Structure 1
Amino acid sequence: MRLSLLFVIAIVFFGCSQERELSAFEPSTDNILDTELPSTISNDSNGPHLNESGTYNYLALGDSYTIGASVTTAESFPIQLKHRLEQGLKVTVNTEIIAVTGWRTDNLLDAINRGTALPSYDLVTLLIGVNNQYQGKPFRIYKKEFPQLLERAIALAYGNPKNVVVVSIPDYAYTPFGEGRNTDKISKEIDEYNGFAEATALQKGVPFVNITDITRNGLSNPDLVAGDGLHPSGEAYKRFVDVIYPVVLPVFD
């Protein structure tokens, strides 16, 4: 009887320990912004969420350029895009952002692997790579991990590459932060990253939007740089949306 009781206690203790370990790997909701999700999620959808309710789900994947570091949440490009779509098309766009300042491609892959709030989205944007470049990581890592991220983005967009948009990496050489650094090297490497991202996107049938040229006006037009002297301003993000908006419109046809 005593041995049986000890056995039961051991099972209960092991179960509680396992539960604590698993909870550490649950996806964080710290970076989910302005999201209005249904109480239940269906996995049997086979296409974009086009219905009479006019409700769409948008997932923005990236780093500080996606969360809008040093500007308000409302000024970030995903939220400005959300509002532009809602106002222009009279729809509702539930927006989830998975992005953290400093993230490289491997960090974003890890976050996606931990899970998203929904199994599928009507629109997915992907902007990643500047921290691979800034931190001096070998370019071969980006060449390996960016295609993996793009495949995941397509899978999250109901498997439809036309519902994904790759956004180019801004060029921080044209900011006060970049001055005094090897700006020619920075710009050359940013071009290399963007060239690979564009070629990969087009190969998979995914639209590619170049916003890098906008950021290369950062020194001649200080209004395009946030107060930290590094990241784009709300005005710069507005100009991003001016370019992205017509590209994503076919998703809402």
Structure 2
Amino acid sequence: MTEDTPARVLALGDSYTIGTGVDPDERWVSKLVDRLREAGESVADPVVIAENGWTTDDLDGAIRERDPDGPFDLVTLLIGANNCFQAESASEFEPKFRTMLDRALGFAEEPDSVVVITVPDYTLTPVGRENEPDEHAERLERYNEIVREAARAEGTRLVDVVPTSKRVAEDGSLVAGDDLHPAPEQHDLWLERIVPTAAAALD
């Protein structure tokens, strides 16, 4: 990135990145770019490869189809909730996640230009509580151990949104109208954790 060239952002993920349940300008990806611009960064509109319901396999296929033109100055990766929801074991998830992390790294200038985000805890939402929450929570905890370990091993940056996602147990306003996905207020709380890390990656 030169002084005259806006920073390029690539966001890879699923419903949590595309912003299922909120307007496009309310999702954390959109607000991240807004915040960076407000801080004086020159940032292009983000390239977002994410959809509701996507697993790692879906994301992999979409990346191959879209074939985004790197390198990017900032790459975010948030994936795994649907693998977990579909009861995929941690041992099955681990190589798939590492493959997605490798793909993210391939689009970045350096490993510390990649921001890995932990998988939010959906088990405390109304929908999550109806679907064997203890079993899902145990599997999700192992998933996030894998996410953290992989991020450390590859030297990427890591943002943990799990503590924030757990606040839905006490504050129902953090859940969107579909009783599952994050409301705008939760996207804002995630953003407080993501912005400083993303800004550091661009610096």
Shared fold (TM-score greater than 0.5)? yes
Query: Partners of 2:173 and 2:200 in 1: how far apart?
Result: 31
TM-score normalised by structure 1 residue count: 0.77
Query: Partners of 2:191 and 2:26 in 1: how far apart?
Result: 11
Query: Partners of 1:133 and 1:201 in 2: how far apart?
Result: 19
Q: Which residue of 2 aligns with 1:62?
A: 13
CA separation of 1:86 and 1:183: change in aligned 2, threshold 3 A: same
Query: Is structure 2 residue 87 aligned with structure 1 residue 136?
Result: yes
Alignment partner for residue 210 of structure 1, among 156, 160, 178? 160
Residues 118-155 of structure 1: per-residue CA shift (max 9 Å, x gap)? 22110000000011111112322211111111111011
Identity %: 34
Query: Partners of 2:41 and 2:199 in 1: how far apart?
Result: 13
Secondary structure in 2 matching 1:231: coil
Which consecutive segments of 4 or more residues in structure 1 shift more than 3 A?
none
TM-score normalised by structure 2 residue count: 0.95
Once the 2 structures are TM-superposed, how far is the Cα of residue 223 of structure 1 from its aligned partner? 1.4
Q: Which residue of 2 aligns with 1:34?
A: none
Residues 73-128 of structure 1: per-residue CA shift (max 9 Å, x gap)? 01111111111111112423320100111111111111112233322110000000
Q: Contact between 1:55 and 1:94, CA under 8 Å: does it hold in 2?
A: no
Letter in 2 for 1:207: R
Query: Partners of 2:101 and 2:162 in 1: how far apart?
Result: 19
Q: Which residue of 2 aligns with 1:156?
A: 107
Q: Contact between 2:11 and 2:29, CA under 8 Å: does it hold in 1?
A: yes
CA separation of 1:138 and 1:179: change in aligned 2, threshold 3 A: closer
Query: Partners of 2:69 and 2:94 in 1: how far apart?
Result: 27
Q: Which residue of 1 aligns with 2:139?
A: 189
Moved more, 139-148 or 85-94: 85-94
Query: Is structure 2 residue 32 aligned with structure 1 residue 81?
Result: yes
Query: Partners of 1:208 and 1:92 in 2: how far apart?
Result: 21
How many residues of Structure 1 are paired with residues of Structure 2 in the alignment?
203
Query: Partners of 1:179 and 1:130 in 2: how far apart?
Result: 15
Letter in 2 for 1:109: D
The structure whose Rg is larger is: 1
- Unmatched segments (≥5 aa) in structure 2: none
Q: Contact between 1:58 and 1:96, CA under 8 Å: does it hold in 2?
A: yes
Moved more, 171-180 or 201-210: 171-180
Query: Is structure 2 residue 198 aligned with structure 1 residue 248?
Result: yes
CA separation of 1:198 and 1:97: change in aligned 2, threshold 3 A: same
Alignment partner for residue 219 of structure 1, among 166, 169, 179? 169
Q: Which residue of 2 aligns with 1:93?
A: 44
Once the 2 structures are TM-superposed, how far is the Cα of residue 212 of structure 1 from its aligned partner? 1.0
Q: Which has the higher contact order (CA 8 A, sep 6+)?
A: 2
Once the 2 structures are TM-superposed, how far is the Cα of residue 56 of structure 1 from its aligned partner? 0.8
Query: Partners of 2:108 and 2:115 in 1: how far apart?
Result: 10
